[in-house]
Amino acid sequence: MSGATQRQRRYAQLGILLGPVSLFLAIFFLCPLAIMMIYSVLTPGLYGGAEWAFYPDNFGRILGFANPEFEVFDPVYLSIFLRSLRIALTTVAITLVVCYPAAFQVSRLPDRWKTFALFLITLPFFASLIVRLFVWVLILKKTGFANMVLQSLGIISEPADLIYTEGAIILGMVYIFIPFMFLPVYASVEKLDWSLVRASQDLGANGFQTFWRVIFPLTLPGVIGGSIIVFIPALGNFIVPAVLGGAKVMMLGNLIEQQFLSARNWPFGAALAMLVMAAVLFILFFYIRLEGRRGDDAPALR
Amino acid sequence: MQPSIVRLERVTKTFALPEGGMITALKAIDLDVRRNEFLTLLGPSGCGKTTLLHSISGFVQLDGGKVSIDGEDVTERPPHRRPVNTVFQNYALFPHMNVDKNVGYALDIAGTDGKERGRRVGAALELVGLSGLGGRLPRQLSGGQQQRVALARAIIARPKLLLLDEPLSALDRNLRQAMQIELKGLQAELGISFIFVTHDQEEALTMSDRLAVLEKGVIQQLDTPRSVYSRPANAFVASFIGASNLFEGAARSDGTDMLVVTPNGEHIRAAGSGTVANGQPVTALIRPEQFSLHNGGNGQPAAFIDADVEQIVFTGLNYQIHGRTPAGRKVVAIIAAVHQREVAEIDAAKKARLTYDPAGVQLIGASGGEP
């Protein structure tokens, strides 16, 4: 009796605590998402908007099963998709390579310097993203700083095409996403119990063996977490390619933006967005499976 | 003489403090560890005992001196190439590996083949009484079980020497006492030397063949537990090992016995005259259990201290009587529980006459401190 009332009280408390945020997400996240889902299978209207009729060819146009009467399959969408995937994965790889060793360095600093280093890493957030990206335009453009330096050093004679390339986009992405990779990686490195490293050495493992068998597996959650946090926004990012990729190198984000704003083809834009989300969910699903397996290890082996 | 398994020669280590300044953790330490002995390093925290242990396992870079294991100079060798293994204070079990992987770690590193590995892991788990738990993760084990896993992991590579860094400090009292006896048995069974670090003097006395008392980076005394207890080399050792009543004073001979006269006029009688020159500063040690209660009859005892009783603590086996001499010095006496009636009397009177045998009084500090 009293147990039941206590449980009711707990539910009431939970409801009060979680209610507002649940309501907010339901209204401002799930509803638009549902609208997008519906839009993605509607017929595009002649002058924008959508007509209330089922129309799978939005997806067909991208994935290759379009009814030629209505839409043409164009491999350019898949190639943009693949390019976005490639850029996002490269960004993840580079930020990881930069942040992983840095996290170890920072975690071994004295406390005062640690706080300062963390402050420096979050410092870019204090300036507007657009401003920071346009600084890269100034650096990378034909008459920009990078070309000037390279020319005056005699490394190149003609200004090189630095901006509006895939490389420029990756550079910008890495620049933006380094803090997103650093913080989760740092959190798991900071937590690492160095007595385990000692134990490993004591049991005969050299530095390399200790790294692969002890340090890396124990910091893997941070590595995976950081990778996801970087990969998801990098895949759909449209600001960086818009500023540093120009019209030459387009990513999914730009394509979607274009469909919604200039082409006024909401159903097609929604279909593209759904595919991005499907890709992300697919990857998250694998991550959760992986994490679940790690947790279940013990009973399975027993 | 058997050659020693570990020899430290003038081992020195200084640490820089984060606030600036230096602290000497080890001051030119010489130490020989015999084969097949259970040696305990005992001292308060910060005395350098863990640093000394790390100088053997290789986790500190020495500023000077030489470390040899089994006749080989290993001073410059990294930890993973030294034939010693360690049981760490917090066990340091790999949380992402199950018990089998933890215990077999050294074999996996060495590339021991599967059949041999399985056999040895099984044997090690059996030795510590954990057969059948190979699939568990460390977090699914109790503290005592984790302790055993750490032990099994450390002995599986058959080290020449096992180092134990306060391994029992996290266990509760009963389990700790059981493990003390088990560890001692294990050491005899394995036939290798154990170097055991602790700050718990009872643990050190129970388990060790020999006992090294460390303070301020120096070995104050190295001897069997009995000798360290009954003949402490100095006041630090005397007060660190067991409860002690120490009386600092000047030596005086009355013809038959030595007297230690404290500045506030107390006289402590010690057997044997002429061992300390008249007027020399000297400290007399009387262990609490050396006192007995004067029963009032038979006139004046040969040697005694009068004390005002402040507190009597009953521990089951005995009574601890905390008192103060007329001059204000604290004294502790331990009286066996069978003397219940006498204790009740002094409890009522709040006064006790504590007698002692002058032959049992130790003189410390002055040259020739042993009577």
Please provide residue B194's backbone torsions phi and psi, each rounded to the nearest 5 degrees.
-115, 135
Task: Specify the pLDDT at position A39.
Answer: 92
pLDDT in tens, A4-40: 788 888 888 888 999 899 999 999 999 999 999 999 9
Do A112 and A203 fall within a single domain? yes
Per domain, the residue ranges of chain B are 6-239, 243-364
Measure the CA–CA gap between B162 and B169, rounded to whole angstroms: 17
Do A49 and A173 fall within a single domain? no
Do A155 and A242 fall within a single domain? yes
Measuring CA to CA, how many Å separate A129 from each of A117, A177, A246, B5?
21, 11, 17, 65
Positive/negative CA dihedral, B242, B247, B249, B250: negative
Q: Report if residue A300 sits inside a domain.
A: no
* Helix residue ranges, H only, chain B: 49-57, 99-103, 105-110, 114-127, 143-155, 173-190, 201-207, 225-230, 235-240, 340-349
pLDDT in tens, B213-245: 999 899 999 999 999 998 888 888 988 888 888
Q: Which residues of chain A have pLDDT under 70?
A: 1-3, 293-302
Do A69 and A215 fall within a single domain? no
Do A279 and A220 fall within a single domain? no
Q: Report if residue A95 sits inside a domain.
A: yes
Task: Specify the pLDDT at position A172.
Answer: 94
Task: Specify the pLDDT at position B297.
Answer: 63
Instruction: Identify which of A28, A81, A54, A34 has the alpha carbon closest to the alpha carbon of residue A270.
Output: A34
- Contact residues on chain A for B155, CB-CB shorter than 8 A: none
Do A196 and A253 fall within a single domain? yes
Task: Specify the pLDDT at position A297.
Answer: 44
- Contact residues on chain A for B83, CB-CB shorter than 8 A: none
Task: Specify the pLDDT at position A298.
Answer: 38
CB-based contact A274:A260 (threshold 8 Å): no
Q: Report if residue A58 sits inside a domain.
A: yes
Task: Specify the pLDDT at position B223.
Answer: 94
* CA A4 from centre of chain: 44
Measure the CA–CA gap between A87 and A231, rounded to whole angstroms: 9
Measure the CA–CA gap between A166 and A162, rounded to whole angstroms: 9
Positive/negative CA dihedral, B269, B271, B273, B274: negative
Residue B137: is its pLDDT beyond 90? yes
Burial class of residue A240, CB neighbours in 10 A (0-12, 13-18, 19+): buried
Select from B103, B107, B109 the residue whose CB has the most chain A CBs within 10 Å, as the one to mutate to test that interface.
B109
Q: Which of the 8 DSSP states describes residue A108?
A: T
What is the count of structural domains for chain A?
2
Select from B80, B100, B146, B160 the residue whose CB has the most chain A CBs within 10 Å, as the one to mutate to test that interface.
B80
Q: Report if residue A162 sits inside a domain.
A: yes
Q: Which of B79, B81, B136 has the CB atom closest to A298's CB atom?
A: B136
pLDDT in tens, B31-88: 999 999 999 999 998 888 999 999 999 999 999 999 999 999 999 999 999 999 999 9
Measure the CA–CA gap between A19 and A13, rounded to whole angstroms: 10
Q: Around B80, how many Cα atoms within 13 Å sit in the side-chain half-sphere?
A: 17
Q: Report if residue A110 sits inside a domain.
A: yes
Measuring CA to CA, how many Å separate B187 from each of A89, A160, B30, B191?
55, 72, 24, 6
Q: What pLDDT band is residue B169 in, cutting at 50, 70 and 90?
A: confident
Do A131 and A151 fall within a single domain? yes
Task: Specify the pLDDT at position B274.
Answer: 56
Which domain, by its residues, includes A46?
32-73+264-292
For residue A294, the one-letter residue type is R
Is B96's CB within 8 Å of A205's CB? no
Q: Report if residue A80 sits inside a domain.
A: no
Do A198 and A67 fall within a single domain? no
pLDDT in tens, B283-338: 888 999 999 888 766 667 778 888 899 999 998 889 999 999 888 888 999 999 88
Q: Report if residue A9 sits inside a domain.
A: no
Q: Report if residue A297 sits inside a domain.
A: no
Instruction: Tell whether ipTM is more than 0.85.
Output: no
Do A223 and A275 fall within a single domain? no
pLDDT in tens, B80-121: 999 999 999 889 999 999 999 999 999 999 999 999 999 999
Determine the distance in angstroms separating the CA of B251 from the nearest CA of chain A, rounded to an integer. 51
Instruction: Identify which of B86, B61, B87 has the alpha carbon closest to the alpha carbon of residue B75.
Output: B61
Q: What is the CATH number of domain B6-239?
A: 3.40.50.300
Asked if the B243-364 domain carries CATH number 2.40.50.100, the reply is: yes
Do A191 and A103 fall within a single domain? yes
Burial class of residue B299, CB neighbours in 10 A (0-12, 13-18, 19+): exposed
Do A189 and A178 fall within a single domain? yes
CATH code for the domain of A162: 1.10.3720.10
Q: What is the mean pLDDT of residues B145-174?
A: 91
In chain B, which residue's Cα lies nearest the Cα of A217?
Answer: B96
Radius of gyration of chain A (CA): 24
Do A158 and A114 fall within a single domain? yes
Residue B371: is its pLDDT beyond 60? no
